[in-house]
Amino acid sequence: MSAGLVDVMQIKVAIVDDDEGIRSSLAALIRRASALKFVGDYPDAETALKEIPRHPPHVVLMDINLPGMNGVECVRQLKGSLPTVQFLMLTVYEDSDSLFNSLKAGASGYLLKRTASARLLEGIRDVHAGGAPMTPQLARRVVQHFSKPTEDNSPVSRLTAGEREFLDQLANGYAYKEIAGRMEISIDTVRSYVRTVYEKLHVHSRTEAVVKYLRG
């Protein structure tokens, strides 16, 4: 395979974190992964806002607790100008407020910094493929925080049992292919769930669907 083709197939990853040691460690991890390509690291949101649009990556690993502007606001501003870039939040925090604010800002995944290297690499590939990587512990926190009694006239009340199970899988961060395997259904059925869920909940993205489902 030619070097040019390999470069095209690789997932370009950038890092935003104020800890130089963490940036170096993540950069080294990405460089060792043949499917990934490290394209830059930035110590603060202000630098990231200036530099990332010049050479957009596929995935950005974003710290939340940055000096100056925080990572959530950085994601919000970058997502507005770079809608195809996927943001995976990396943080020491497990609180659901940070998670929900990140999702509202445009992030597609949320993992803890202590996440094992193999799981982090899997998370990068997942978020690039359309998944929403999240630890089960964080997913449970979101459910506990946002679940409310469902009113009979709410959009969520019109969901079928299968659609609810599908959304449960989405909320736990599984990609569509994984959901098909876990629910023992075809990928075409998963796509059908996507269409009907989006229509019933009046949403246009998986993040909106999960948030609206969890909030009831």
Q: For domain 147-215, which architecture applies?
A: Orthogonal Bundle (1.10)
Whether the per-residue pLDDT at 5 is higher than 50: the answer is no
Q: How far apart are CA 131 and CA 195, in angstroms?
A: 16
For CATH 1.10.10.10, the residue range(s) in the chain are 147-215
pLDDT tens readout for residues 18-74:
999 999 999 999 999 999 999 999 999 999 999 999 999 999 999 999 999 999 999
Give the model's pLDDT for residue 2: 44
Give the model's pLDDT for residue 146: 59
Q: How far apart are CA 173 and CA 121, in angstroms?
A: 14
Q: Just give the CATH number of 3-134.
A: 3.40.50.2300
Average pLDDT, the chain: 86
pLDDT tens readout for residues 160-170:
888 888 998 88
For CATH 3.40.50.2300, the residue range(s) in the chain are 3-134
Phi/psi at 142 (5° precision): -65, -45
pTM equals 0.66
Whether the per-residue pLDDT at 142 is higher than 60: the answer is yes
Q: Record the tokens describing residue 211, joined without a space.
A: 């948030």
At a CB cut-off of 8 Å and minimum separation 6, what does 162 contact? 183, 193
pLDDT tens readout for residues 10-30:
999 999 999 999 999 999 999
Give the model's pLDDT for residue 1: 43
